[in-house]
């Protein structure tokens, strides 16, 4: 019997497969024996160790949830990153990764939550929100849930096929898009037109500036700050 890893301790998983998501992003599936399961929205720390002993660790959201011991990460490469270039360009099935988690208990969606849910993503910030969409569908929840996804172009969408098959996803393309799309950065006016009415629970994830702007606009539009949960990262 394999002992379950404790959330605060490091464990080792084996990469089972990878798949390109965007020109700079990749999905990675990792088998973790004894994984205790995770809630949609949680994350893990990933640690790499160089031959000379130097270590670097970064936090990555999980696109998967539930009890299965097979985790999915989706990572966007930062040009000056220490961890993401390896995960996107070099890692291969059979490689081992050190992980710590699951981590985080606030930015999560649970099936007993019955309020309507508005998800707002910027770039690779869609990853934990995809976990919520999947968990919502798997649970059979009747609570409304929809996604507003701000992304540079159709080619830069994570989970493009999966999200493209849904009718509760709205895209805001910032650099290029279909001929009938409005192209440009998300504005408060576009946000207001796309999100669920005041009273919905809102999850916002993406680069720091994007998250701060969206959260501020939502409050300006009358949304209760107590119903807005945010998760941000430093990369643009």
Q: What is the pLDDT of residues 79-132, one digit of tens each?
A: 899 999 999 999 999 999 999 999 999 999 999 999 999 999 999 999 999 999
Residue 5 sits at the vertex; the CA angle it makes with 3 and 9, to the nearest 5 degrees, is 135
CA atoms of 194 and 13, how far apart (whole Å): 39
Q: Where in the chain is the domain with CATH 2.40.30.10?
A: 10-103
Find the mean pLDDT for residues 192-208: 97
Has residue 2 got a pLDDT over 80?
no
The two counts, helices (H) then strands (E), for the chain are 5, 11
Q: Are 63 and 130 in contact (CB under 8 A)?
A: yes
Q: State residue 235's pLDDT score.
A: 44
* DSSP 8-state class, residue 88: I
Q: Which two tokens stand for residue 36?
A: 């205790």
Q: Identify the CA nearest to 118 among candidates 229, 231, 233.
A: 229
Q: Does domain 117-233 have CATH number 3.40.50.360?
A: no
CA atoms of 189 and 185, how far apart (whole Å): 11
Q: Identify the CA nearest to 41 among candidates 22, 58, 25, 60.
A: 60
Q: State residue 132's pLDDT score.
A: 98
Q: Are 40 and 131 in contact (CB under 8 A)?
A: yes
Sheet-wide strand order for 169-173:
169-173, 145-151, 117-122, 201-207, 228-233
Has residue 1 got a pLDDT over 70?
no
Homologous superfamily of the 10-103 domain (CATH): Translation factors (2.40.30.10)
Q: Where in the chain is the domain with CATH 3.40.50.80?
A: 117-233
Phi-psi region of 100 (alpha: psi -120 to 50; beta: other; left: phi over 0): beta
Q: State residue 233's pLDDT score.
A: 81
Q: Are 202 and 229 in contact (CB under 8 A)?
A: yes
* DSSP 8-state class, residue 229: E
Q: State residue 8's pLDDT score.
A: 76
Q: What is the pLDDT of residues 34-79, one digit of tens each?
A: 999 999 999 999 999 999 999 999 999 999 999 999 999 999 999 8
Q: State residue 7's pLDDT score.
A: 62
Report the Cα 179 to chain-centroid distance in Å. Answer: 28
């Amino acid at each position: 019997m394999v002992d379950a890893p404790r959330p605060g301790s490091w464990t080792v998983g084996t990469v089972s497969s990878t798949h390109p998501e965007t020109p700079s992003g990749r999905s990675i599936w990792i088998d973790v024996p004894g994984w205790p399961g995770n809630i949609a929205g949680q994350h893990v720390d990933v640690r790499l160790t160089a031959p000379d002993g130097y270590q670097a660790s970064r936090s990555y959201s999980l696109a998967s949830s539930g009890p299965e011991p097979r985790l999915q990460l989706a990572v966007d490469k930062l040009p000056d990153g220490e961890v993401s270039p390896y995960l996107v360009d070099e890692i291969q099935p059979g490689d081992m990764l050190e992980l710590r988690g699951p981590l985080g208990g606030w930015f999560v969606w649970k099936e007993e939550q019955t309020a309507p849910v508005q998800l707002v993503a910027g770039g690779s910030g869609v990853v934990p929100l995809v976990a919520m969409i999947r968990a919502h569908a798997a649970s059979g929840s009747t609570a409304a849930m929809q996604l507003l996804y701000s992304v540079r172009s159709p080619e830069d969408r994570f989970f493009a096929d999966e999200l493209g098959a849904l009718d509760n996803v709205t895209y805001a393309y910032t650099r290029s898009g279909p001929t009938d799309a409005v192209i440009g950065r998300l504005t408060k006016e576009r946000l207001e037109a796309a999100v669920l009415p005041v009273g919905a629970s809102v999850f916002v994830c993406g680069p720091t500036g994007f998250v701060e702007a969206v959260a501020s606009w939502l409050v300006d539009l009358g949304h209760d700050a107590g119903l807005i949960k945010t998760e941000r990262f430093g990369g643009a």
